[in-house]
Amino acid sequence: MKIPRLTDTTLRDGSHAISYSYTVEQTREIVRGLDEASVPVIEVSHGAGLNGSTIQQGFSKTPEYDLIKTAVETAKQAKIASLFVPGIGTSEELKKAVDIGIQAVRVAVHCTEADVTEQYIRLAKELEIEAVGFLMMAHTQPKEVLAEQAKLMESYGADCVYIVDSAGALVPQGVRERVSALKDVLSIDVGFHAHNNLGLAIGNTVAAIESGADQVDGTVRALGAGAGNAPTEVIVATLNKMGINTGISLSHLMDLAEDVVAPIIPSPIVIDRDNLSSGYAGVYNSFLLHVRHAAEKFDLNPTEIMEELGRRQAIAGQEDWIIDVALELADKKKDMAHI
């Protein structure tokens, strides 16, 4: 079985879970720990990607370019990557990140909108960095649609295309089908990014690898949006048990998880009612903090909002819809109370 390349996204996906509050020193410590463990790729940016520090997405405590610069200066072996979402970031932000020193960009769109990645994937290749396509909310589309979208990304010059389980809504069979479908039609790498809302992040990651995934993602101590991601240290331990030697030091990762990352986490990352309802309804994980705020404001149960967003098939970038949905539900509840 091929050894998959592991990307750690603690310093990107993890920022959702700590309200985008990473400091320069925390970034330095985490990058140093990952680099010493020989993790090959480290993703650093706002949780919503380059230029994501906005009133809609959430403001960063520290400018993301300061964090990216720190990561680039700290890493001795690892490649530094950033997430880029068209419409949130522009070509100028991507160029600035490349000037600072990122070596890879992951261009993320809803899984039916690959066509909007063309100019950014092509720009990444012109800038001579690695370009990865990210098909978010992959649970919402059948394998055939995802395969066609992935082929578009490949035609633009992508080096890899990821199946992204943004809501933690997939089960192993769904992962196998989707990864296999991409492997059947692409000549480039296929990746998989898991979330743990159904408790399946590691199982799904293993299913992806067994189906031929060339790249997988994790976060230290599972620090990520929603119920978190597949823990990087657990991925490495699991692959070791499977006889797959990644060359990554498990002991270094466990120390990093325990001594550096755990103290940063404001509350335990668990599959609580909100996270489970998000995964079950298939709602984008980064919506959770916004949903909780809306639920408190309008005296609603977050699950009510999640279920309605799931029914309406909300996608990334529609965070402003959360308030509208919450207001409608609150008005409906008042109307029912008067009957």
Confirm whether residue 299 is marked as ligand binding.
no
The catalytic site residues sit at 16
12 appears as a binding residue in the annotation: yes
Confirm whether residue 293 is marked as ligand binding. no
Contacts of 254 (CB under 8 A, 6+ apart): 233
Please check if 13 is assigned to a binding site.
Answer: yes
Q: Are 186 and 215 in contact (CB under 8 A)?
A: no
Per DSSP, the residues of 187-238 read: SSEEEEE-B-TTS-HHHHHHHHHHTT-SEEEEBGGG-SSTT-B-BHHHHHHH
Sequence-ordered list of residues with C-beta below 8 angstroms from that of 117, at least 6 positions apart, any chain: 86, 107, 109, 133, 152, 153, 156, 158
**Among residues 278, 266, 281, which one has the least CA distance to residue 197?**
278
Contact in structure between 27 and 11 (CB atoms under 8 Å): yes
Is 284 labelled as part of a ligand binding site? yes
CA gap 56, 319 in Å, rounded: 7
Binding positions for Mn(2+): 13, 193, 195
Binding positions: 12-13, 166, 193, 195, 284
Binding positions for substrate: 12-13, 166, 193, 284
